[in-house]
């Protein structure tokens, strides 16, 4: 995703998909804009007594298939354009896995690491107060995203319920288990990615003990490493912003996690070769999983990549130029809107459980997640074959057509 104007980039991707499927022109015109974007200014009394005003947004891109759905990001670089782009992506993501939700996204331009716990709680509550009239279990359901977590969701839920005077757990997902969260939610993104990875590996005839490199041993990447090791894969390369570690016999993921917990990085782990963080992409592995930042695979490093399969756990990790090179080399890419949709699928399960007041066991969540991810993979694969295109465009065309159908059925064309 280009840094300058993320929403323009999102619209370019839509245009590319539209070249293949040519949707109704009246619907296409509407999809050039979110349905609503809310901009809010949040005055917070800081610990030293002065008031600081933070800017936040909630973008509601499309609700034809169901209530808007998408996380809230707290990051200094958050902008209106980025939030809008992410809300469009959420619309395609919920459509590609065919859950009855639309797409939205929220954010506040803030560096949460610089806030005290009290200031962070005040900001979270203040953001929820500002958007409360525009969210709800049947309207728009936020969730965690970059630098927001279950604790913040708990504060926001509490604020919402105080305002409206009733328990409404379904207004927000990614909550702690004690107040209506779902089993599996914590590692749902990685689990969903594992299910589609297994499907893709089967298509390519990759063996169960294939080698894997994961760029970014953070929240999503570390769960992915653990799950793949458990499934019999050889996790050979792991990296974070400090360095890369490599052992082709297979790293011991739990030991690496303990090392990272103690030292703050995977670097320095004794059971591996230690290298700089950039070297992660250079290793010859069967499967590469970008799980760090946007555009981490770009024109500068794409030629170093030697792999057969890329599963995008991160959002937008491959630049447009790099993607062209990878496609030419016939490297299969499972795109982000499919590969990391497990998180939003389990968010949807959380809502369903909240609505019925009846909570599922872990096994039930996993079975239902697998069913949805497997079906979505197969449908995207079929679409890719039918249009003789990439999996990314297959996922986009499938998703955009689903949104188009819902808009038509509502008479919005
Ligand atoms: P995180 O901050 O926990 O982890 C990111 C990791 O990337 C960190 O370990 C960081 O050290 C590492 N990193 C940063 N720069 C790097 C570099 N140059 N080389 C190697 N590693 C580097 O974030 P996360 O929640 O795991 O999210 C990662 C990606 O996955 C993001 O794109 C996010 O949007 C996407 N994602 C996450 C979830 C989720 O449930 N966590 C859901 C959907 C999508």
* 240 close to ligand 1 (CB < 6 Angstrom): yes
Beta bridge partners of 143: 71
Ligand 1 atom 25, closest CA: 219
pLDDT (0 to 100) of residue 294: 86
Pull the structure tokens for residue 129. 């107060």
Q: Kindly report which listed range (36-45, 51-60, 313-322) carries the lowest average pLDDT score.
A: 313-322
Mean pLDDT of 216-228: 96
Per CATH, the number for 188-339 is 3.40.50.720
Q: Is the pLDDT of residue 277 over 70?
A: yes
Integer Cα distance of 121 and 98 in angstroms: 34
Atom index in ligand 1 nearest the CA of residue 296 equals: 18
Catalytic residue list contains 105: yes
Closest CA to 32 of 41, 23, 21: 23
| CA 290 vs CA 28, 261, 323: distances in Å | 31, 21, 13
pLDDT digits (tens, 9 = 90+) for 110-140: 999 999 999 999 999 999 999 999 999 999 9
3-class DSSP state of 342? helix
The residue whose C-alpha atom lies closest to atom 1 belonging to ligand 1 is 218
**What are the residue boundaries of the structural domains of the chain, listed by start?**
34-167, 188-339
User: Which pLDDT value is given to residue 280?
Assistant: 94
Dist. CA 407 → ligand 1 center (Å): 34
Angle formed at CA 371 by CA 367 and CA 374, multiple of 5 degrees: 130
With 60 as the cut, is the pLDDT of residue 10 above it?
yes
Within its chain, how far is the Cα of 237 from the centroid?
Answer: 22
Give mean pLDDT, residues 388-404: 97
Convert the pLDDT of each residue in 151-197 to its tens digit.
999 999 999 999 999 999 999 999 999 999 999 999 999 999 999 99
CA distance 307 to 386: 25
Site of tokens 């052992």: 247
Q: Are strands 68-75 and 103-109 parallel, antiparallel or unpaired?
A: parallel
Nearest partner of 184 among 61, 348, 310, judged by Cα: 348
pLDDT score for 1: 43
Quickly tell me which residue has 């349905």 as its tokens.
35
Residue 64, both tokens: 């034809």
User: Is 216 touching ligand 1 by the criterion CB < 6 Å?
Assistant: yes
* H or E, element range at 40: strand 36-45
Task: Determine the distance separating the centroid of ligand 1 and the alpha carbon of 70, expressed in angstroms.
Answer: 17
Edge-to-edge order in the sheet of strand 234-240: 273-275, 243-246, 234-240, 211-215, 287-290, 309-311, 332-334
The residue whose CA has the least distance to atom 9 of ligand 1 is: 218
What's the confidence (pLDDT) of residue 4? 67
Q: Among 3.40.50.10860, 3.40.190.80, 3.65.10.10, 3.90.1170.50, what is the CATH number of 34-167?
A: 3.40.50.10860
Where residue 377 falls among pLDDT bands split at 50, 70, 90?
very high
Q: Do domains 34-167 and 188-339 have the same CATH topology?
A: yes
Whether 220 and 340 have beta carbons less than 8 Å apart is answered as yes
Report the share of the chain in percent with pLDDT over 90.
Answer: 95
The per-residue pLDDT for range 73-106, each reduced to its tens digit, is 999 999 999 999 999 999 999 999 999 999 999 9
| pLDDT for res 5 | 86
Res 208: pLDDT: 86
Residue 43, pLDDT > 80, answer yes
Residue among 3, 8, 69, 105 flagged as catalytic: 105
Question: Is the CB–ligand 1 distance for residue 173 below 6 Å?
Answer: no
Predicted confidence (pLDDT) per residue in 259-274, tens digit: 999 999 999 999 999 9
Indicate which residue's Cα is closest to atom 30 of ligand 1: 314
Residue 293 above 90 pLDDT? no
Q: Is the pLDDT of residue 2 over 60?
A: no
Say if residues 208 and 232 touch (Cβ distance below 8 Å): yes
Q: Which atom of ligand 1 is nearest to the CA of 244?
A: 20
């Amino acid at each position: 995703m280009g840094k300058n104007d993320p929403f323009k980039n999102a619209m370019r991707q839509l245009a590319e998909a539209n070249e293949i499927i040519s949707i109704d022109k009246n619907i296409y015109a509407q999809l050039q804009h979110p349905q609503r974007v809310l901009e809010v200014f949040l005055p917070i009394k800081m610990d030293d007594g002065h008031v600081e005003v933070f800017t936040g947004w909630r973008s509601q891109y499309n609700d034809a298939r169901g209530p808007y759905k998408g996380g809230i990001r707290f990051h200094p670089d958050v902008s209106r354009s980025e939030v809008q782009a992410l809300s469009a992506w959420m619309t395609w993501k919920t459509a590609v896995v065919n859950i009855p939700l639309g797409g939205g996204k929220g954010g506040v331009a803030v560096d949460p690491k610089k806030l005290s716990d009290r200031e962070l709680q005040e900001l979270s509550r203040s953001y929820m107060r500002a958007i409360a009239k525009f969210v709800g279990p049947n309207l728009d359901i936020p969730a965690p995203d970059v630098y927001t977590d279950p604790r913040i969701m708990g504060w926001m839920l509490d604020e919402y319920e105080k305002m409206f005077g009733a328990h409404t757990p379904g207004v927000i997902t990614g909550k702690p288990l004690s107040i209506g969260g779902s089993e599996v939610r914590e590692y749902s993104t990685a689990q969903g990615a594992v299910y589609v990875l297994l499907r893709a590996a089967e298509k390519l005839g990759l063996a169960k003990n294939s080698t894997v490199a994961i760029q970014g041993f953070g929240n999503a990447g570390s769960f992915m490493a653990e799950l793949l090791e458990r499934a019999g894969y050889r996790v050979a390369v792991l990296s974070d912003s400090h360095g890369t570690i490599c052992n082709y016999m297979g790293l011991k993921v739990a030991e690496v996690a303990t090392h990272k917990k103690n030292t703050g990085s995977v670097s320095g782990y004794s059971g591996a070769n230690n290298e700089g963080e950039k070297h992660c992409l250079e290793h010859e592995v069967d499967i590469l999983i970008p799980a760090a930042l946007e555009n981490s695979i770009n024109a500068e490093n794409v030629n170093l990549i030697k792999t057969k399969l890329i599963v995008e756990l991160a959002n937008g990790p491959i630049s447009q130029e790099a993607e062209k090179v990878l496609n030419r080399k016939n490297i299969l890419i499972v795109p982000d809107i499919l590969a990391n949709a497990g998180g939003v699928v389990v968010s949807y399960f959380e809502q369903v459980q909240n609505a019925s007041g009846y909570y599922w066991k872990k096994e039930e969540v996993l079975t239902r997640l697998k069913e949805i991810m497997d079906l979505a993979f197969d449908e995207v694969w079929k679409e890719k074959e039918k249009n003789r295109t990439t999996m990314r465009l297959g996922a986009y065309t499938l998703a955009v057509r689903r949104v188009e159908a819902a808009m038509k059925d509502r008479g919005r064309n």
